[in-house]
Amino acid sequence: GHFDVTDNFSRLREPDCILICVPTPLTEKMEPDLQYIEKTTHSIKKNLRKGQLIVLESTTYPGTTEEFVLPLLESTGLKVGKDFFLGFSPEREDPGNKNFTTAQIPKVVAGVTPSCKEAVTALYSQAVHQVIQVSSPRAAELTKLLENIYRSVNIALVNELKMLADRMGIDIWEVIEAASTKPFGYSPFYPGPGMGGHCIPIDPFYLSWKAKEYDFTTRFIELAGEINVSVPYYVVSKIIDALNERRKSIKGATILILGVAYKKDVDDARESPALAVMDLLQKKGATILYHDPYIPSLPLFRKYHFKLKSSLLTEKLLRRMDAVVVVTDHSQIDYPWIVRHAPLVVDTRNVTKGLDRWKKKIVKA
């Protein structure tokens, strides 16, 4: 067949099209870390031949394709738009969402030159039903950032309102459900234990960093980031208060984290708010266990290292916990059964809605 898998970069001369899909994390100083794009581009540069199309798909700041990737490739002496073609087309995917296949999701594309744009469009038209051309790679790069910043800002809004509503004694989930009945001018977003995944918690800061080059401060983006980072601390404070009301201390408490993936029904825990919650609880002296049907053991993460394996859910396990904290609302978990057997359930996802029979041992966070 035509499909092959290799880690031999010398074979990069063989394909006609090369897609760069590598991580774009942040440094400890919250600045763009382009080392993976840089190393990959150097590998392509060593093997670049005439006629090849290179497309960057990794989320990054506006200007990366033309200011960073292009000079490296043109240092070979080959000319973009004539000898080789270069474009940008951001990834668009929603892990766990079975309603959209790759072919159904419109693909935004841009080329460094008109001939580059034609080549990128021709490539993706083979696999995607609708290809959306934009004027430049910078416009395409900002398109992806806007999509993720839109989610980041709106999630921060509902998380802040959740904390306010809690003080006011109002159920934020009821409010969102009611607001969602408005047929225009409103799109529901839902609060949670924080923001996770390898895109939305990170990507907005790429634009904040680039904006400084233009003497511009992205206050909205940075405020949203501050709020979303603070939510795990709020969740931990709610756990501490709930234990305190039951005359228990967080120090020495045994707590089960239910779900460590960054979103429901996926097996990816990168940047998951569960990790921050677990770390904070451990630092306060709690013993942590977790259950996640999609993640049998926790790998080594960039900031955290938990030597833990997923615990088997049993009545005996639930009864000996001081608290069970619902962080990720996986579909296959029987939440009424959890609530029935656990002494205390801290719910960050509204999975206990309607379980009024056990409301005395349910705390929303």
* CA angle at 95 for the pair 93 and 98, rounded to the nearest 5°: 95
**In sequence order, what are the residues at sequence separation of 6 or more whose Cβ sits closer than 8 angstroms to the Cβ of residue 129?**
103, 104, 106
What b/e sequence results for 215-250 when a residue is b if at least 16 CB atoms lie within 10 Å of its CB, and e otherwise?
A: eeebeebeebbebbeebbebbbebbbebbeeeebeb
Measured in degrees and rounded to the nearest 5, phi and psi for residue 79 equal -105, 130
CA distance 339 to 246: 16
CA distance 356 to 336: 11
CA distance 333 to 331: 6
**Cross-strand pairs, 109:** 133
Measured in degrees and rounded to the nearest 5, phi and psi for residue 97 equal -90, 110
DSSP string covering 126-181: TT-S-EEE-S-HHHHHHHHHHHHHHHHHHHHHHHHHHHHHHHHT--HHHHHHHHTT
Q: In the block, which residue shows the tokens 């934009």?
A: 134
DSSP string covering 11-30: GGGS-SEEEE-----B-TTS
Active site residue 17: no
Q: 17, 21, 116, 199: which one is catalytic?
A: 199
**In sequence order, what are the residues at sequence separation of 6 or more whose Cβ sits closer than 8 angstroms to the Cβ of residue 139?**
62, 110
Q: Where are the beta strands (DSSP E) in the chain?
A: 17-20, 53-56, 85-88, 107-111, 131-133, 254-258, 287-291, 323-326, 345-347, 362-364
Residues tagged active-site: 199
